[in-house]
Amino acid sequence: MSAGEIDLLPGERVLWAGEPVQRPLYVAADGVVAPAGLVLAVAASWFLFAKQPAGAAMAGTVVVLVIGLYGAAGRSAVRYLALGRTTYAVTDSRIIARSGLFRLKERSTELAGLPAPVLKPGPSRTGTIAFGPGSVTLIGVGEPKRVRDLLVKAIEEARARQAPPAVA
């Protein structure tokens, strides 16, 4: 994401901009979702072929089969493809992620409200920087330690700007 593509707030400046250099096919959450999806897909397939349901049972089984297949493989594939169109930016007041498979959506999180960033190292000197539920997560970032250190400093400075002035 270049600075020209970002709608900056008045007085806001870009500290870092980048994109995923590594797109993981599976992430930790897939360790639960993918096997559960596979179990659903196998159970629905067995029910379709062994019981040959009709009407509403057939429709329900097909829905369960689609949900299972999506959980087993589709979710990872969609994330992988969307990361190919993802860009990130860190400004002096927010983290911004622009991503989407068909239509780009922008999400941002205010720095002052974030906890300390957690770096999860990845392959080939990449990593994922997370802050907790509901915040922007930077997946597959190159030079993740440098980006994390920049974020730590930016968060501290954003909190300092929001702190009430000391009474003398």
- CATH number for the domain harbouring residue 139: 2.30.29.30
141 in the same domain as 68: no
Q: What range defines the domain where residue 38 resides?
A: 30-81
Task: For residue 78, give every residue at least 6 positions away whose Cβ sits within 8 Å of its Cβ, in sequence order, or none.
Answer: 101
Task: For residue 158, give every residue at least 6 positions away whose Cβ sits within 8 Å of its Cβ, in sequence order, or none.
Answer: 92, 93, 110, 111, 112
Calpha distance 85→136 (Å, rounded): 16
105 in the same domain as 158: yes
In a domain, 168, yes or no: no
99 in the same domain as 127: yes
In a domain, 141, yes or no: yes
Starting at the edge strand found earlier in the chain, the sheet holding 14-18 runs 14-18, 87-91, 94-99, 105-110
Per the confidence metrics, is the pTM higher than 0.85?
no
Single out the residue in 81, 115, 150 at which a domain terminates. Answer: 81
In a domain, 167, yes or no: no
Calpha distance 86→99 (Å, rounded): 4
72 in the same domain as 40: yes
In a domain, 98, yes or no: yes
Among 12, 18, 150, 9, which residue's Cα sits nearest to residue 91?
Answer: 12
pLDDT digits (tens), the chain, 168 positions: 544 466 788 889 999 999 999 998 888 889 999 999 999 999 999 999 999 999 999 999 999 999 999 999 999 999 999 999 999 999 999 999 999 898 989 999 999 999 999 999 988 899 999 998 888 999 999 999 999 999 999 999 999 988 777 766
Q: What is the pLDDT of residue 165?
A: 74
50 in the same domain as 14: no
Counting the structural domains of the chain, the total is: 2
158 in the same domain as 90: yes
